[in-house]
Amino acid sequence: MRDAGHAVTVYEAGARVGGVWVLDPDVGGRGGEALTTANAAHSSIYPSLRTNLPAELMAFEDFPFAAARGWTRRAYPAHGEVLHYLEAYASHHNLSPLMRLRTKVTAADPLPPAPERGVAWPRWRLTTEASGGATSSPSSADYDALVVANGHFTEPRLPAVAASPAFPGLVMHAHSYRGPGAQPLAAALAAAGPSSVVAVVGAAASGEDIARELSAAAGAVLLCSRSWEGGLVRPVGRGNIRYEPMLRELHADGTASFAEGGEGGGGDAAANHPRRTPPLAAVIYCTGYRYSFPLLDACGAVAVDDNEVLDGLGSRGGGALNPLYGHAFPPSTAPGLTLLGLPWKVVPFPLCQAQARRAARALSGAAPLPSQREMEADAAAAASARLAAGTARRHAHRLGCPAQFEYMAKLTADSFPGDPAAASAHQLPPWRQALYEAASAARRADADGYRDAEAALGEAKGDADAAAAAWVERG
């Protein structure tokens, strides 16, 4: 935004740069309270977490990991190394003067356009509240545009598992997980003894990693998934992880019943395993997160339906709300409102950078967005294509590979209309996608050891290291 000539103010509720990468050991809830976000920490990071993407793949296009102090040069860095990288990025680009830390935006209200100043879209009045000082009183300021980048790893998304109020085990979401030695999980494991059994519900990246870590502390871990088809990674741990279908109900005797029709590690789980689990010390839901935009709740500019983010102020036939244009722009308010970082199963930093560039150049007039009607038609067509492909609505913003790289390439091309040379200079090099594919293959081949098997990344890792070294040499 600043590079495009805009005057920028960044509001950050936390005390430092880093967002979800700032480890907060105080999860703000115990037992069942750990399922809610009331008083909960913003971050979902736990002490042992390492990335499941190689460092140089994660890096912004204009600042490699190799340029940041504090990186151990491991291909898959720990969470603290990512935090140091973000701090180094902010320092390198002198972003601190733009930031207002410990300042939460509590509300955003649309204002009329200002065509006399060339602002043809709704403007915004932000209400903010600072913390950490002697006093804390709301204040407000008006802006010509708003970029919301509040993340989407804070509001737990819970599965439809019935639970008896008398279920004696701990029930928590991965958002509150801080390791087997942290409370309240440590107490639950200790009470159950060495034969403790933990159900981890959800077998994507967080479920896989948490199940592996818990296998060293629990007697057995039941890793539960809707389906074990489709190439899901199966961690081994210390040999006590069992692959199970989803849970259906938690019972007062401490057991849980499985849903029908799931597939276990050796075939049909309904045939190979009893209908109920042993008594469970804990159930940990690794079932993802819900999109949430509290600052926009009052004005209704954004709506969320089954985890698809929609334009809350724009509707089509039948009263249905319009999808977003390009996973970032509500057609009725864009470019005055941009929602950054919604896509998932992606490499987030370069993707957000491409989105931010597109928004910045749309606001400056260098690369205008299509008309509202054109954006609505494009978004509707994309939604229809997802429906025809059988994509669940809750996966509307899931990209994966190669879709995320195609998406970033289009964002970049659209940011420089009529200037293919400039667009080419900002396109991601081929080694990025090659490294993503190599990392995915390595993880599938060795779920427990891929992070320390750098050689499995092949030539793409060498290309990434060479590009980073050349950047550092240029200074």
Distance CA 148, CA 138 (A): 19
Q: Which residue has the tokens 């740069």?
A: 17
Residue bearing the bigger pLDDT, 4 or 40: 4
Residues 37-82: tens digit of each pLDDT: 444 678 899 999 999 999 999 999 999 999 998 788 999 999 999 9
CA dist., res. 270 & res. 284, Å (int): 21
Task: Give residue 434's pLDDT.
Answer: 97
How much is the pLDDT for 231?
63
Other CB atoms within 10 A of residue 171 CB: 21
Average pLDDT over residues 196-222: 96
With residue 271 as reference, give the H or E element that holds it: helix 269-272
Give pLDDT, residue 36: 52
- What is the CB neighbour count within 10 angstroms for residue 7? 9
The letter for the amino acid at 30 is R
Whole-number Å distance between alpha carbons of 406 and 403: 5
d(CA 157, CA 291) in angstroms, rounded, equals 9
> Does residue 59 contact residue 350 with C-beta atoms inside 8 Å?
yes
Q: Specify the 3-state DSSP secondary structure of 100.
A: strand
Report d(CA 369, CA 414) in Å as an integer: 9
Rounded Cα–Cα distance for residues 420 and 308 (Å) = 33
Could you read off the pLDDT of 424-451 as tens digits, one per residue? Answer: 999 999 999 999 999 999 999 999 999 9
**Which band of pLDDT confidence, cut at 50, 70 and 90, is reported for residue 298?**
very high
Q: For residue 364, what pLDDT is reported?
A: 97
Tell me what the pLDDT averaged over the chain comes to.
91
Quick: pLDDT tens for 229-257.
Answer: 766 778 888 899 999 999 999 999 999 99
User: Could you tell me if 432 and 347 are in contact, meaning their C-beta atoms sit under 8 angstroms apart?
Assistant: yes
Whole-number pLDDT of residue 34 = 53
3-state helix, strand, coil in the chain (%, to 5): 35, 20, 45
**pLDDT tens figures, 307-330:** 999 999 987 666 789 999 999 999
For 112, residues 6+ apart whose C-beta sits below 8 A from its C-beta are 122, 123
pLDDT band, residue 30 (cuts 50/70/90): very low
Strands, E assignment, 266-320 = 267-268, 282-285, 289-290, 302-305, 308-315
The pLDDT score that the predictor gives to residue 320 is 85
Structure tokens, 373: 């009607």
For the chain, percent of residues with pLDDT exceeding 70: 92
List of residues 6+ apart from 443 with CB closer than 8 A:
52, 233, 450
3-state secondary structure of 104: strand
C-beta atoms surrounding 239 within 10 Å: 7
**262 pLDDT exceeds 50?**
no
Residue 32 pLDDT more than 80?
no
Determine the 3-state secondary structure of 471 from DSSP: helix
> pLDDT tens digit string along 127-136?
999 987 656 6
This prediction has a pTM of 0.93
Least confident of 81-95, 147-161, 217-231, 377-391: 217-231
More confident residue, 232 or 471: 471
Task: Report helix, strand or coil for 238.
Answer: coil
Report the pLDDT value the prediction gives residue 176, as an integer from 0 to 100. Answer: 94
d(CA 290, CA 309): 10
User: For residue 254, how many C-alpha atoms fall within 13 Å in the half-sphere facing its CB?
Assistant: 14
Q: How far, in whole angstroms, is CA 419 from its chain's centroid?
A: 32
Give CA–CA dist 109/311, Å, rounded: 15
pLDDT value for 263: 41
- pLDDT tens digits, 264-276: 444 444 444 447 9
The confidence band for 27, taking pLDDT boundaries of 50, 70 and 90, is confident
pLDDT at 72: 86
Six token digits for residue 189: 């494991």
- Structure-block tokens of residue 95: 């972003």
- C-alpha torsion angle, residues 180, 445, 263, 202 (rounded to 10): 40
- Residue 224 pairs in a beta bridge with 201, 244
Question: DSSP labels for 164-216?
Answer: -TT--SEEEEGGG---TTSTTHHHHHHHH-TT-EEEEE--SHHHHHHHHHHTT
Give the pLDDT score at 42.
82
